[in-house]
Structure 1
Amino acid sequence: MKNYKIIMTGGGSAGHVTPNLALIPKLKENGFDVQYIGTENGIEKKIIMDQNIKYHAISSGKLRRYFDVKNFTDPFKVIKGIFEAKSIIKREKPDVVFSKGGFVSVPVVMGAFFNGVPVVSHESDMTPGLANKISLPYCSKICVTFPETLQHINKDKGVLTGTPIRKELLEGSRIKGMRFCGFDKSRPILLIIGGSLGSKVINDAIRKNINQILEKYQVIHICGKGNLDSSITSEGYRQFEYISDELPDLLACADIVVSRAGANVIYELLALKKPNLLIPLSRKSSRGDQILNANSFKNRGFSVVLEEEELTEEKLMSYIEELYLNRGKFIAKMNDSGIENAVDKIVDVIMSQVK
């Protein structure tokens, strides 16, 4: 087998890093030496270095759609990052670069382009994020998660692949998850996921209703760093800031899930056939990509959707109950989706670009 070298990039949030982790084992199977370019202080550094992957740090500024004083200084960080990435890529001589997006990816993609190295990128959301929009002209191929995304991309570059899912996420144990939480079979299990940073809106809504929820469900609440509430000590309620190694087991033991609507997490729920209530991030605090993601899943019969602006205690309880009572219908739709893990498809696209 011929040996190749790939440099991966992506950062700013866990959603721009964890899909790369799903690809790494398959890339290594195909003879790739894997390296990574990210920022010095980004979330991606620890995640990648924990995998014993060679890591290169560069400068990068955040790309914003709103006014901020840093908008005047961050472009210079991006320019510096381009020269740094260009130098690293020239020295390491990768056969291909893979970008998962996030603001750190822009200097890397441009650095690869200026070195004549082909770039494959992946867009998780239905409409390309700002970083991927800037990067599009410099990419050879763009893998997309939603069929609707192809209309936003040059038809010669766009490839519908879905989103890559870590193999270990599909190998969780219901028994281990229940044992980890100290749960029994007396009540079904409700899992709440608020994204890698947590969601105050969802956390508050769940906790205001916790006594009523616990009458019927045992609850696993992944609430985000700094969001634990020590005042809640009820039996059947387990809360965690963040879960890594045990996450596959917690997903395995969940009967239903309440979640934000980031593309990575909803495709993980689809792969695991978990009936879910999606509460997408509102347009007031985002570009609206989660709303589009959630509605796509709702229209395909995979999810119940409750808009953040419509979230009340009464509606939350009503939607959870609807989800649980109709869980069989949602599982059947997900079983018939025909959507497979995207790892093999994306690695095939990467291989096609290796010179």
Structure 2
Amino acid sequence: MTPYLAVELDGAGRHPAAWRLPDARPGELFTAGYWTGLAQLADRAGLDFLAIPDSFAPPAEGQAGLVRGRLDAVAIAARVAPLTRTVGLVPTATVTHTEPFHLSKAIATLDFVSLGRAGWQPEVSGTQAEADLFGRKEWSDGPPPADTLWRELADAVEVVVRLWDSWEDDAVIRDQATGRYVDRNKLHYVDFAGEFFSVKGPSITPRSPQAHPPVVLRLDHVEDELEALPVVGRWAQVVRIAAPDLAAAADARARVRDAVAAAGRDPDEVAVLLDVETLLADTPDQAQATLAQLDGWHDGPGGTEHGTLRILGTPVALADLIEEAVGSGAADGVTLVPLALPSGMHTVAEGLVPLLVQRGLRPSAPTPATLRDRFGLARPANYFTEARA
């Protein structure tokens, strides 16, 4: 099996002090060139997709020395899409405090701009600080419990998917003789009324190249797993997990597959990718020394989230881990999370990928394809035409 290979691009890297490294480019973090350069590097290396995180959360009080501010992930993906050819683009778009109508239009537009390489990573926002940014008075007694947040995420994804289907594939007819641009009979009201949203529709964006850009869900918040698993089972095409070792990853993957089966779907059609934090160098000692420097700047260890597996060492060590993870059934691939950027992306593209190609674990050259094609997913039927049939 060919392992799936993705990379998360998070500013100067996941480690809070990474921007202080000599080869970091903190003055460019808010420029288009920084992001397009990293995306083009990933594109040439043949990565399956780039995950672009986002959050409404402001930096915690008292956390000095952090990079302040971030660009919008969907806008970053739309900017780099025309300058890349094969790599998938999966921005985070938080569903809490946002409207599914806007999200459906944004991700569908990204799918058009990228010619079918868009994905979407929905996430919940569960802190009071984030709610205060939006003036959520109904949160005055504190944020809702995790099960409420995940039910809202499930409703949001369902609304988005129905809006994506609210135009049939051939709804746009462009009949110059009659002056009819669309066939109104092929536009559909979604008429969704749920616990959190009431949406009439239809969308104002036609059905996109993939119809349903793949939904990528993170299952690395251990405290939320019970609430998240049913949503993952129903809606995810790709699942990101975090685990401290491969045995724990295998257990997490099994729970995901059980949830997918319980939702009446085929577990083999859902890819499970293991998050791996990386700090690569010519020798393990060099990687350890860099981490020690970063931790010293940050006044303590930083970067690790929820017991995420971490590789400090050489590209060979990382290639060995990927081969073992897929061979043992612990994961279907990995999402690499560099602790430092842009150096971490260069090491993946120029050091890791050639090793995987030599071992027959990655193709020698990237092939243009939609993101659904990369994950072996068929084009989905339209909700409304299927119901009519």
TM-score, reference length from structure 1 = 0.30
TM-score, reference length from structure 2 = 0.28
Structure that is richer in helix per residue: 1
RCO higher in structure (CA 8 A, sep ≥6): 2
